[in-house]
Structure 1
Protein backbone atom coordinates (compact mmCIF):
# COMPACT_ATOMS: atom_id res chain seq x y z
CA UNK A 1 0.00 0.00 0.00
CA UNK A 2 1.33 3.41 -0.95
CA UNK A 3 0.85 6.19 1.53
CA UNK A 4 2.01 9.03 -0.72
CA UNK A 5 -1.58 9.94 -1.64
CA UNK A 6 -2.61 9.84 1.99
CA UNK A 7 -0.29 12.54 3.35
CA UNK A 8 -1.66 15.78 4.78
CA UNK A 9 -0.15 18.58 6.84
CA UNK A 10 -1.32 19.08 10.40
CA UNK A 11 -3.00 22.34 9.36
CA UNK A 12 -5.29 20.31 7.06
CA UNK A 13 -6.20 18.02 9.94
CA UNK A 14 -6.97 20.98 12.19
CA UNK A 15 -9.19 22.62 9.58
CA UNK A 16 -10.94 19.42 8.40
CA UNK A 17 -10.98 17.07 11.38
CA UNK A 18 -14.58 15.87 10.96
CA UNK A 19 -14.11 15.25 7.23
CA UNK A 20 -10.84 13.42 7.85
CA UNK A 21 -12.50 11.11 10.38
CA UNK A 22 -15.35 10.33 7.99
CA UNK A 23 -12.91 9.54 5.17
CA UNK A 24 -10.78 7.35 7.45
CA UNK A 25 -13.82 5.28 8.42
CA UNK A 26 -15.05 5.08 4.83
CA UNK A 27 -11.78 4.30 3.03
CA UNK A 28 -10.04 2.44 5.87
CA UNK A 29 -6.67 3.74 4.67
CA UNK A 30 -4.25 5.36 7.13
CA UNK A 31 -3.44 9.04 6.84
CA UNK A 32 0.10 10.32 7.41
CA UNK A 33 0.18 13.70 9.16
CA UNK A 34 3.17 15.96 8.58
CA UNK A 35 4.50 18.84 10.62
CA UNK A 36 7.11 21.17 9.16
CA UNK A 37 7.39 18.84 6.17
CA UNK A 38 8.19 15.72 8.21
CA UNK A 39 5.94 12.75 8.87
CA UNK A 40 4.93 12.91 12.53
CA UNK A 41 1.88 10.68 12.98
CA UNK A 42 -0.38 8.15 11.32
CA UNK A 43 -4.15 8.22 11.78
CA UNK A 44 -6.31 5.21 11.12
CA UNK A 45 -9.91 4.20 11.77
CA UNK A 46 -10.74 2.19 14.87
CA UNK A 47 -11.72 -0.99 13.00
CA UNK A 48 -8.38 -1.09 11.17
CA UNK A 49 -6.52 -0.39 14.42
CA UNK A 50 -8.31 -3.26 16.17
CA UNK A 51 -7.52 -5.62 13.28
CA UNK A 52 -3.87 -4.59 13.45
CA UNK A 53 -3.76 -5.24 17.20
CA UNK A 54 -5.36 -8.68 16.77
CA UNK A 55 -2.87 -9.54 14.04
CA UNK A 56 0.04 -8.45 16.23
CA UNK A 57 -1.27 -10.56 19.11
CA UNK A 58 -1.45 -13.63 16.85
CA UNK A 59 2.07 -12.98 15.56
CA UNK A 60 3.36 -12.76 19.14
CA UNK A 61 1.71 -16.09 19.97
CA UNK A 62 3.33 -17.66 16.90
CA UNK A 63 6.72 -16.23 17.84
CA UNK A 64 6.38 -17.62 21.37
CA UNK A 65 5.46 -21.02 19.93
CA UNK A 66 8.48 -20.96 17.62
CA UNK A 67 10.76 -20.14 20.58
CA UNK A 68 9.31 -23.08 22.52
CA UNK A 69 9.96 -25.38 19.56
CA UNK A 70 13.52 -24.08 19.13
CA UNK A 71 14.25 -24.61 22.81
CA UNK A 72 12.93 -28.17 22.62
CA UNK A 73 10.08 -27.47 25.02
CA UNK A 74 7.57 -29.62 23.14
CA UNK A 75 5.57 -32.77 23.75
CA UNK A 76 3.85 -35.14 21.33
CA UNK A 77 0.13 -34.41 20.87
CA UNK A 78 -0.81 -37.93 21.95
CA UNK A 79 0.98 -37.44 25.28
CA UNK A 80 -0.76 -34.11 25.95
CA UNK A 81 -4.15 -35.55 24.99
CA UNK A 82 -3.62 -38.50 27.34
CA UNK A 83 -2.72 -36.14 30.19
CA UNK A 84 -5.84 -34.06 29.57
CA UNK A 85 -8.04 -37.16 29.47
CA UNK A 86 -6.52 -38.39 32.72
CA UNK A 87 -7.22 -35.05 34.43
CA UNK A 88 -10.78 -35.03 33.11
CA UNK A 89 -11.57 -38.51 34.45
CA UNK A 90 -9.93 -37.86 37.83
CA UNK A 91 -11.95 -34.67 38.45
Structure 2
Protein backbone atom coordinates (compact mmCIF):
# COMPACT_ATOMS: atom_id res chain seq x y z
CA UNK A 1 0.00 0.00 0.00
CA UNK A 2 1.20 3.47 -0.79
CA UNK A 3 2.03 5.78 2.07
CA UNK A 4 -0.13 8.85 2.28
CA UNK A 5 2.46 11.59 2.12
CA UNK A 6 0.42 13.99 0.03
CA UNK A 7 -2.02 15.33 2.60
CA UNK A 8 -3.31 18.77 1.65
CA UNK A 9 -6.14 21.09 2.62
CA UNK A 10 -9.05 21.83 0.35
CA UNK A 11 -7.82 25.41 -0.03
CA UNK A 12 -4.50 24.01 -1.34
CA UNK A 13 -6.46 21.96 -3.86
CA UNK A 14 -8.36 25.02 -5.01
CA UNK A 15 -5.21 27.06 -5.59
CA UNK A 16 -2.94 24.29 -6.91
CA UNK A 17 -5.24 22.04 -8.97
CA UNK A 18 -3.06 22.17 -12.09
CA UNK A 19 0.08 21.37 -10.08
CA UNK A 20 -1.67 18.43 -8.38
CA UNK A 21 -2.77 17.13 -11.76
CA UNK A 22 0.77 17.29 -13.11
CA UNK A 23 2.14 15.58 -10.01
CA UNK A 24 -0.42 12.78 -10.30
CA UNK A 25 0.57 12.29 -13.94
CA UNK A 26 4.27 12.18 -13.07
CA UNK A 27 4.39 10.35 -9.73
CA UNK A 28 1.00 8.68 -9.34
CA UNK A 29 0.88 9.23 -5.58
CA UNK A 30 -2.69 10.03 -4.54
CA UNK A 31 -3.57 13.14 -2.56
CA UNK A 32 -5.65 13.11 0.61
CA UNK A 33 -7.64 16.32 0.81
CA UNK A 34 -8.70 17.55 4.22
CA UNK A 35 -11.55 19.80 5.21
CA UNK A 36 -11.65 21.25 8.71
CA UNK A 37 -8.66 19.10 9.63
CA UNK A 38 -10.27 15.78 8.67
CA UNK A 39 -9.75 13.66 5.58
CA UNK A 40 -12.50 14.48 3.12
CA UNK A 41 -11.48 12.94 -0.20
CA UNK A 42 -8.73 11.21 -2.11
CA UNK A 43 -7.61 12.38 -5.53
CA UNK A 44 -5.83 9.89 -7.75
CA UNK A 45 -4.83 9.68 -11.40
CA UNK A 46 -7.48 8.30 -13.71
CA UNK A 47 -5.30 5.31 -14.67
CA UNK A 48 -5.07 4.28 -11.00
CA UNK A 49 -8.84 4.61 -10.68
CA UNK A 50 -9.40 2.46 -13.77
CA UNK A 51 -7.00 -0.22 -12.51
CA UNK A 52 -8.82 -0.35 -9.18
CA UNK A 53 -12.21 -0.59 -10.88
CA UNK A 54 -10.99 -3.47 -13.07
CA UNK A 55 -9.59 -5.25 -10.02
CA UNK A 56 -12.86 -4.84 -8.12
CA UNK A 57 -14.80 -6.22 -11.10
CA UNK A 58 -12.49 -9.24 -11.31
CA UNK A 59 -12.81 -9.88 -7.57
CA UNK A 60 -16.61 -9.74 -7.84
CA UNK A 61 -16.55 -12.33 -10.64
CA UNK A 62 -14.30 -14.57 -8.54
CA UNK A 63 -16.60 -14.18 -5.52
CA UNK A 64 -19.66 -15.08 -7.61
CA UNK A 65 -17.85 -18.13 -8.96
CA UNK A 66 -16.90 -19.18 -5.45
CA UNK A 67 -20.52 -18.83 -4.32
CA UNK A 68 -21.65 -21.05 -7.18
CA UNK A 69 -18.95 -23.59 -6.34
CA UNK A 70 -20.03 -23.73 -2.71
CA UNK A 71 -23.66 -24.25 -3.81
CA UNK A 72 -22.60 -27.17 -5.97
CA UNK A 73 -23.27 -25.35 -9.21
CA UNK A 74 -20.81 -25.65 -12.05
CA UNK A 75 -18.94 -28.44 -13.73
CA UNK A 76 -15.57 -30.08 -13.41
CA UNK A 77 -12.60 -29.15 -15.55
CA UNK A 78 -12.98 -32.42 -17.48
CA UNK A 79 -16.65 -31.67 -18.20
CA UNK A 80 -15.72 -28.17 -19.34
CA UNK A 81 -13.05 -29.48 -21.71
CA UNK A 82 -15.52 -32.01 -23.14
CA UNK A 83 -18.08 -29.24 -23.72
CA UNK A 84 -15.48 -27.05 -25.46
CA UNK A 85 -14.37 -29.94 -27.66
CA UNK A 86 -17.96 -30.79 -28.58
CA UNK A 87 -18.65 -27.16 -29.46
CA UNK A 88 -15.54 -26.98 -31.65
CA UNK A 89 -16.48 -30.17 -33.47
CA UNK A 90 -20.03 -28.98 -34.19
CA UNK A 91 -18.79 -25.65 -35.60
CA UNK A 92 -16.54 -27.29 -38.19
Alignment TM-score > 0.5, same fold: yes
CA distance in 2, matches of 1:68, 1:82: 20
TM, length-normalised to structure 1: 0.87
- CA distances 1:29-60 after superposition (whole Å, capped 9, x unpaired): 11011111111111000111111111111111
2:42 corresponds to: 42
Q: Please report the RMSD computed on the Cα atoms of aligned residues, expressed in angstroms.
A: 1.3
Q: Which moved more, 1:9-18 or 1:67-76?
A: 67-76
Structure 1: any 5+ residue segments left out of the alignment? Answer: none
1:1-91 aligned at under 5 Å gives the runs 1-3=2-4, 5-91=5-91
> What stretches of structure 2 of length at least 5 have no aligned partner?
none
